[in-house]
């Protein structure tokens, strides 16, 4: 009888101890992973949605993926008839653009998922005899992003930190930061740039929180 009572009491004490230990460990906040990279933060300290951590970035689907020489199903140097084969005519409005004093065909492409989103501009070059090919793609729709989540609305600091930038200069009507590796130009918000800046400035002079207003793939 005495041994039975002793064993019962010991079991109660042991159970209480295990319960307390489990409670303590489950309420402990996990430590941050060693060596984890801190995402880009704007001037107000808030983490940008286009952070360096891929898991934290807003990533695109395959139709809105920006990559070197490609945007979704589009690729540079594709011929006009190839464009018409992959993009429904209802999404395209034909127009023109100027390049080096000459007029060439262009298309304004509406997004099938978001028809009210800003149109993507497709600029062609060539001639009737040699056929026209896609020279440049201009993007103003935030749905389009790189695999790292960088696109319209992202801060310049994030693009610089992810890709590195080789040139920042006035180009045609835009002030553009150019990534030589990606062959992508990031159109910057000039209202955020230093006053009285020149046509070519160092990337270190551009505030990291300067917004990307458009993307040029060429």
pLDDT tens, 79-121?
Answer: 999 999 999 999 999 999 999 999 999 999 999 989 999 999 9
The structural domains of the chain, with segments of one domain joined by +, span: 54-217
Identify the band that residue 182 occupies on the pLDDT scale cut at 50, 70 and 90: confident
pLDDT in tens, 114-130: 999 999 999 999 998 99
Is residue 1 over pLDDT 70?
no
| pTM, full prediction | 0.73
HSE toward the beta carbon, residue 80, CA cutoff 13 A: 17
Burial (CB count within 10 angstroms: exposed 0-12, middle 13-18, buried 19+), residue 55: exposed
Q: Which CATH architecture does the domain made up of 54-217 adopt?
A: Sandwich (2.60)
204-214 pLDDT per residue, tens: 889 999 999 99
């Amino acid at each position: 009888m005495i041994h039975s009572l002793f064993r019962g009491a010991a079991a109660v004490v042991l159970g209480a101890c295990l319960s307390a230990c489990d409670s303590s460990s489950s309420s402990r906040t996990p430590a941050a992973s060693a060596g984890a990279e801190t995402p880009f933060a704007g001037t107000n300290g808030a983490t940008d949605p286009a952070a360096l951590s891929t898991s934290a970035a807003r990533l695109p689907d395959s139709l809105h993926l920006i990559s070197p020489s490609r945007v979704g199903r589009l690729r540079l140097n594709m011929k006009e008839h190839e464009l018409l084969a992959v993009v429904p005519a209802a999404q395209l409005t034909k127009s023109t653009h100027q390049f080096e004093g000459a007029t060439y065909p262009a298309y304004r492409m509406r997004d099938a998922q978001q028809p009210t989103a800003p149109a993507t501009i497709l600029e062609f070059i060539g001639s009737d005899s040699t056929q026209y090919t896609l020279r440049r793609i201009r993007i103003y729709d935030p749905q389009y992003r790189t695999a790292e989540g960088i696109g319209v609305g992202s801060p310049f600091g994030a693009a610089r930190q992810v890709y590195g930038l080789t040139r920042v200069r006035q180009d045609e009507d835009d002030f553009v930061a150019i990534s030589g590796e990606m062959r992508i130009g990031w159109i910057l918000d000039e209202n955020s740039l230093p006053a009285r800046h020149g046509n070519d400035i160092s990337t270190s002079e551009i505030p990291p929180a300067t917004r990307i207003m458009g993307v040029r793939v060429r």
